Amino acid sequence: METRRLGRLEHQSSVLIYGAASLGGVDQDRADASIQEALDAGINHFDVAADYGDAELRLGPRMPEIRDRIFLATKTGRRTYDEAWSEINRSLERLQTDHLDLIQMHAVCDLENLDLVTGKGGSLEAAIRAKEEGMVSAIGITGHTAEAPSVHREGLRRFDFDSVLTPLNYKLSTDSRYADDYAALVEAVQASDAALMTIKMIARRNWREGENKAYDTWYQPFDDQRYVTAATAWLLNGHPEITGLATAGETKLLKQMIQAEQERAGLSPEDAAAILDEVRDYESPFADMPF
């Protein structure tokens, strides 16, 4: 699997980042099988969060075996110093490690939350302390709304975050405002040599009311290999500024995303876009978020 430099952190990260939200509601056997599937495919960057149900608990038992083989990132969604400090320590316990490669300020999707995170007594102060005490190596920011790129750009103005995790897929790129915000974020990220990672690559649309939800994702994902491969090729082949993309929060889709990364080489971004244009119900996942 291709690896790319994770900004100034210098880690050579696999372009597929294991999205451990997929482990939030599964048993240990299913978790172990999915983790091994990722490792066998060459994925060396794992991304989890304290808010992902039992995901940290499912990853933890594997740490004694794999900790030195992977880049380990988690997130805190708390907004005050005390709450975030407690949660970071709890994450270390649940993950069965004494050190994180990256702690991320989770779901910073609007300026109100950015103010809470970066303000006096906010969670960023807890992350800075954790870095100073050697508990974490780097500090990042994440979010998942249509406003995320502009909010994350403002976040970089306020603090020198080591990484940004923001949404991007072909459909979002066709929204001129979103595209402009994303381009401005890329400029800011590159100026600071931070790492830029993305989410929601195979999001197709929101679930319809009454629709059978076949996956654990909060949006309906692409699950036809043709479209999973096209979405992957469009993103990775057309956006060299991206260090990696998070796999969907569903273990059943990991195989298809691994296959897509292997098959994408011969597909230009333009050809990939033409394939995705075939999909009539392809929409922004943020049009009607369920939370």
Q: What are phi and psi of 45, to 5 degrees?
A: -130, 120
By the 8 A CB rule, do 23 and 46 touch? no
Q: What are phi and psi of 193, to 5 degrees?
A: 60, 35
Q: β-strand 219-221 against 3-5: which pairing, if any?
A: unpaired
Q: What are phi and psi of 205, to 5 degrees?
A: -175, 175
Q: pTM score, two decimals?
A: 0.97
d(CA 25, CA 56) in angstroms, rounded, equals 11
Q: Options 3.40.605.10, 3.20.20.100, 3.40.630.10, 3.40.109.10; which CATH number does 3-276 get?
A: 3.20.20.100
pLDDT of residue 288: 75
pLDDT of residue 287: 77
- Rg of the Cα trace of the chain? 18
Among 153, 159, 164, 163, residue whose Cα is nearest residue 187: 153
β-bridge partners, 76: 105
pLDDT of residue 291: 64
Tell me: the pLDDT tens digits for 147-170? 999 999 999 999 999 999 999 999
User: Is the Cα dihedral 96, 98, 101, 102 positive or negative?
Assistant: positive
d(CA 94, CA 54) in angstroms, rounded, equals 9
Chain centroid to CA 217: how far?
Answer: 13
Q: What is the pLDDT along the chain (291 residues), one digit of tens a residue?
A: 999 999 999 999 999 999 999 999 999 999 999 999 999 999 999 999 999 999 999 999 999 999 999 999 999 999 999 999 999 999 999 999 999 999 999 999 999 999 999 999 999 999 999 999 999 999 999 999 999 999 999 999 999 999 999 999 999 999 999 999 999 999 999 999 999 999 999 999 999 999 999 999 999 999 999 999 999 999 999 999 999 999 999 999 999 999 999 999 999 999 999 999 999 999 999 977 766
By the 8 A CB rule, do 71 and 6 touch? yes
CA angle, 82 then 88 then 89, to 5°? 95
Query: Encoding tokens for residue 176?
Result: 């001129």
Give the residue carrying structure tokens 């991007």.
168
d(CA 160, CA 179) in angstroms, rounded, equals 23
Query: Encoding tokens for residue 123?
Result: 């969670």
Query: Encoding tokens for residue 39?
Result: 């490792």
Among 290, 225, 226, 234, residue whose Cα is nearest residue 253: 225
pLDDT of residue 280: 96
Q: Looking at 78-135, which runs of residues are DSSP E strands?
A: 102-105
Q: Is residue 12 classed as helix, strand or coil in its secondary structure?
A: strand
Query: Encoding tokens for residue 83?
Result: 């709450």
